[in-house]
Each structure stands twice: as C-alpha cells, then as structure tokens.
Amino acid sequence: MSDQPRKPLPKPSSLSQPFWDGLAAGEIRLQKCDRCDTYVFYPRPYCPHCLSEALTWTAVSGRGRVYTYTVVRRAMHPAFQPDVPYVFAIVELEEGPRVETNVVGCAPEDVRVEMPVKAVYDRTTAGIALLKFEPA
Amino acid sequence: MSLKRAAAITGIAEMAPRASAEGLSTMGIWADVSRKAILDAGLEPSEIDGLLVAPPIVDMVAMWPSHLGEYLDIHPRYANIVDLGGASAAGMVWRAASAIQSGLCRAVLCVSGEASDVDTFYAPRAKRPTQQLPLREFEAPYGPMGANSGYAQIAMRHMHEFGTTGRQLAKVAVDQRTNAGANPDALYRDPLTVDDVLSSPLIVDPLHLYEIVQPCTGGAAFVVVSADLAGSNAQTPAWLLGAGEATRGVMLAQVKSITTSPIAQSAPLAFEMAGVTPDDIDLISVYDCYTITVVVTLEDAGFCEKGRGGPFVEEHDLTYRGDLPLNTHGGQLSFGQPGLAGGTSHVTEAVRQLQGRAGERQLPDCELAFVNGNGGIMSEQSSLVLGV
C-alpha cells in the first residue's frame, strides 16, 4: 500500500485548525471580523479588509452556488487518476467567501455554473474532513 | 516617472523548442542563448553590467543569477531574479530599463529557459516543499490540474457570463498554427482546423488538448541597453515606449471576478506611457498559455469590449497575413512553452518584427507592438509597448 500515490491532505496550522475541526464536526466555521463584519477565508491572523485582529470563528449555512468549475479528465497528481472525470469547482458560499472544492453526488455533465449546492463532509482515513458540495 | 525611450532591446537569441530535454541542461541552454544575444547586440561580454534571470519552473534553486554570472564569467553590478511566472520576460524588460534609467547599469542581459519536457514537468516532485502555502492547504486536496484547471475555470465562467463558444476559443489556436507554419523554429507547424481543435481530447472542460500549451525544452535571452549603447549593432533598436504591471492573488477562489484580469490595469498604464492606443498597434504579441488567455487579454487590454473577445477573434484574421496580426511566431500553443522562456517568445517576436527580421512571416509595416506577459492563473500581468 505504501507504494500507492497518496492524495495531498491539508496540514492544519494552529491558525487554521478551527476550520478543519469544524469540518470534522460537520459544519463550516469561518473567521468573521468583529469590527467590519467581513468573513475571512482562508484563515488569516487578521482581517485583510480593516486590519483588525478581532476575528471570531462563526458557523455558516453550508449553502452556496457553483461560481465556476471544470471537469478534470486527466489528473496531474497520480493519486487522483482513479477519480477522473471529477469536478474541480469554486463554490461561492451564501455568506460570500468562495472555496475551492469538488462537486460530488451527481454526474460531471450535470454540473452548471450558478447551480445551488450544499456542503458535504468527506471524512478521509487520516482524520481530516474535506469540504465538498452536492446539488442542493 | 516615465520609462519611454529610456532603453531599447537590441540583441535577441532564442532556441528552437524541443519536445524532449534529453541531453540538455538548463545552464547550457542559458549560456548558449546568452552568448548569441550578446553577439546580436554587438557588445563585448565585459560590457554586460546587468543580469536578470527568470528561474526554471522545474528546478527552483537559490541564487540563479550568481550561478549564471559565474558560468558566463561576467560580473554584473545589478543582478536579480524576476519571478512573475509567465510575465517574467515582460517584467524583465521594464526592470532593466528602470535600472538603466537610474544609472545602475547600461546593458542588461535577460535570460530564461529550461531543460524540461512533459515527463519531467508532470512528474511528482520527489520532495514536497515544506512551506505551508494556503494553495497547498485549501486547493491541492481537491485535485487541481496545475494551471490547466484554473484557466478552464476562467473559460467556463467566461462562457457563462458572455456566451463565449468553444469554436471562438479554438479559432485562436487555429490562426496561431497558421503563423507557426511560417516559423521554422516552431514545435508544431502542421495546419489545424477548428474541428481539429474541438475533436482533440477534452482535458479540463471546456479546454481541449490543442488549447493547452505543452511543456518543452528551450530558452531565450535579450539585451536591454541604454540610449548611448543603442547604436552598438546593426539592428534597429526596439525601444521601450510604455510599461505597466499589475498583480492579484494566485488562488482563483480569492479573486473577485475571474473573467477580468489585472491586464485591465497594466495595459492602460503601458498605452498611456507610450501615448498610443490599441488602434495604433501593428503587432499583438501576448501570452497564450491557453486559448482563453488570449480572449481575456484582448478584452482587458482594450482591443475589444469586455465580453466580446470571442466574436472578436472570429471576426478578425489573426495570422501574419491578416488584419489583426497576433502572435506571429505561432504563440506558445504552437511554438512551445519552454518554462518561463515561453513568455520571452512574445518579447523576442515583437523585437524581430520591429527590426524587420521575421522572415516569411514579416509584417509589411510594423512600427508598434503590444506585448503582454501573463503569469500564474492570470495573476501577474506585465504589459509593454515596444516601437522603433
């Protein structure tokens, strides 16, 4: 098994750990700026909009829409080759931030730009849950 | 401060791209194109007092300019690496001019290229970098296909917002292939049709194989000199008339509108400095890692309205015989993309056309060229106006 290529998994930092903990618990937690109400994603030590360090981890709805996507038919990383064709997408969350993700739970041909989607949590064997989406 | 006519490109050299890196080294390629560019500029090695290097994509090491300076046995007073991805070459042109204008140096050798091919480029890196880039934490786990998937996402969104079609995108690859047919150095020269492009394998929807650059081996160098050295060779100097640069984040999820690039800022700066408009341009020499890149570039640089890039490339003949000559060397799609030297090919072709030595594909009356270098996922943009 050790000879098989393995998919790259996130290595959370102390800064990003609450985000990954949220996914493991089945919800999306994002930093929100106490001062200007802006959601911050990916996790940062301060709000890039107003420079405030007062950020509070806040659970969001998990609803969004497909901002754009592609269907990957040849994987660059060999560990993804068994999955082709798969959808590599950018989803815009209802609350504003966009995330890089996969759309699962439907045929790649059925994905559309602006399609409503909802979060699903893909628990990997390494204990990390990845944030993916399926048609809402 | 304006850089208009602060410096000129006098010497160029470019290796014909090869599909295989077999038997070649990056340093060997750099030395070869450096020697030829210095000779082409009519200078002695001792006169090169500036050195800019665009690093190889497949082999990032520290202090590349020092390694190359040692190899060439030159001793620049101004040496630096320029890494703006594919925008590095255009970025080197104005950085060299800026250094010259400020009196740091008089003749800057700018070098790019690498020994690379499809196998080495796509090989899993033996040692993963340890830096925790957000890109690795928040994108890599979802299986992006390098730059391919990012440009595909731009194309998909462009189609959604503006109704751009696959046939329109394919037209870019077809016209550039016609140009490559008149360039003996191009990697791909056989004629191509829109149907050929659309029937080539889909790699990342909506982009097909023939809409995607191929990593290959090659290199290119050019020499930027001060006004007092511009007469040192027999060639007409290709003057820097205008320059502009703009950047944004690399991760597309962090970009507000992915269908508009920072060219919307960098190109107007270049045109304004040069005192010309897109209508005045004789040659469009712009980065074409994918067909969609050209469409977005034409829109954002002001050659057509935003969103009309698709119909625009269909309505115009982009070949060297056409009404809107674009990437007359074949572009990277047909000429090849030898690492960051792919972006250099747009600079060298502009110089060739301005100097009247583009051979069979020479434009009859080329006095002004627009060059655009594009890096990352349209994240780094360096725009130039060059003229005689």
For residue B145, the chain A residue with the least C-alpha distance is A76
Of B132, B143, B160, the CB nearest to A13: B132
What is residue B301's predicted lDDT score, i.e. its pLDDT?
Answer: 98
In the structure, what pLDDT confidence band is assigned to residue B232 with cuts at 50, 70 and 90?
Answer: confident
What average pLDDT does this structure show over B103-113? 97
Residue A1 has pLDDT above 50, yes or no: no
Nearest to A69 among B137, B145, B156 (CB): B156
Secondary structure of residue B90 in the 3-state scheme: helix
Mean pLDDT throughout B338-355? 96
- Which residue spans of chain A are classified as CATH 2.40.50? 61-136
Q: Which of A9, A72, A113 sits opposite B145 (nearest CB)?
A: A72
Q: How far does CA A13 lie from the centroid of its chain?
A: 16
- Average the pLDDT over A14-40 and give the result: 97
Chain A hits for B258, CB-CB cut-off 8 Å, are 67-68, 90
Q: From CA A77, how far away is CA A75, in angstroms rounded?
A: 6
A75, closest residue in chain B (CA to CA)? B145
Quick check: B141 and A130 CB within 8 A? yes
pLDDT digits (tens, 9 = 90+) for B300-336: 999 999 999 999 999 999 999 999 999 999 999 999 9
Over the stretch A90-135, which tens digit does the pLDDT of each residue have?
Answer: 999 999 999 999 999 999 999 999 999 999 999 988 889 999 999 9
Contact list in A for residue B140 (CB cut-off 8 A) is: 8, 77
pLDDT digits (tens, 9 = 90+) for B3-49: 999 999 999 999 999 999 889 999 999 999 999 999 999 999 999 99
Best of B135, B137, B296, B377 to substitute, by most chain A Cβ atoms within 10 angstroms, is B137
Average pLDDT score over residue span B61-65: 86
Identify the pLDDT of residue B125: 60
What's the half-sphere exposure (Cβ side, CA atoms, 13 Å) at A73? 13
pLDDT tens-digit profile of B287-307? Answer: 999 999 999 999 999 999 999
**A3 touching chain B per CB within 8 A:** no
Please check whether residue B129 touches A, CB under 8 A: no
- Per residue in B120-144, pLDDT (tens digit) is 777 766 554 455 788 889 999 999 9
Q: Cβ atoms within 10 A of the Cβ of B131, count?
A: 7
**Is B160 near chain A, with CB under 8 Å?**
yes
Query: How far does the CA of residue A24 sit from the closest CA of chain B (Å)?
Result: 15
A61-136 is a CATH 2.40.50 domain? yes
Residues with Cβ within 8 Å of B290's Cβ and at least 6 positions away in sequence, in order, are B148, B151, B152, B155, B207, B211, B212, B213, B333
Mean pLDDT of chain A: 95
pTM for the model: 0.96
Give Dmax (Cα) for chain A.
50
Q: Is B58 an 8 Å CB contact of chain A?
A: no
Asked if B154 has any chain A CB less than 8 Å from its own CB, the reply is yes
Q: How far is A75 from chain B (nearest CA, A)?
A: 6
As a whole number of angstroms, the distance between CA B146 and CA A55 comes to 32
Size of interface A-B (CB pairs under 8 A): 110
Predicted local confidence at residue B124, as pLDDT? 61
Cα(B357)–Cα(B348) distance, rounded to whole angstroms?
11
Q: Cβ contact (<8 Å) for A88 and B156?
A: no
Identify all chain A residues contacting B212, using CB atoms and an 8 Å cutoff.
Answer: none
B145 to A102: CB separation less than 8 angstroms, yes or no: no
Whole-number Å distance between alpha carbons of B108 and B6: 13
- Interface check for A81 against chain B (CB to CB < 8 A): the answer is no
Q: Please name the member of B124, B143, B160 whose beta carbon is closest to the beta carbon of A72.
A: B143
Residues 6+ apart with CB under 8 A from B321: none
Answer whether B250 touches A (CB < 8 Å). no
Average pLDDT of span B227-236: 87
Fold of domain B7-120+213-387:
Peroxisomal Thiolase; Chain A, domain 1 (3.40.47)
**B78-81 sheet: strands from edge to edge:** B78-81, B50-53, B107-114, B218-226, B7-14, B238-247, B380-387, B368-375, B283-286
**Which positions in chain B touch A40 (Cβ < 8 Å)?**
none
Nearest to B138 among A75, A83, A100 (CB): A100
